[in-house]
Amino acid sequence: MKIKNKVLTILFLTYCTVGFTQDYKKNIESEFTDYLNYIVNMEFEKSMDYITPEFFEIIPKVQLIIVLKQTFSNPAMTFEIIDPKVISVQDAEKIEAKHYALLTYSSQMNIKINNDLEETEQQTNNRLSLTKASFDQTFGAENVSYNEETGIYNIYAKKDAYAISENGNTDWKFLVIEKSQKVILEKILPKTLTDKL
Sequence-distant (≥ 6) Cβ neighbours of residue 75 within 8 angstroms: 114
Regarding pTM above 0.85, the answer is no
> To the nearest whole number, what is the mean pLDDT of the chain?
87
Domains within the chain, CATH numbers bracketed: 2-194 (3.10.450.100)
pLDDT band at 77 (very low <50, low <70, confident <90, very high): confident
pLDDT tens digits for range 15-52: 444 444 458 999 999 999 999 999 999 999 999 999 99
Residue 155 CA to residue 143 CA, distance in Å, equals: 6
Quick one: how far is CA 108 from the chain centroid? 12
Residue 47 CA to residue 140 CA, distance in Å, equals: 27
pLDDT of residue 2: 53
196, burial (CB in 10 Å: exposed 0-12, middle 13-18, buried 19+):
exposed
The residue-averaged pLDDT of 43-63 equals 95
**Cα angle 99, 104, 110; round to 5:** 140
pLDDT of residue 115: 79
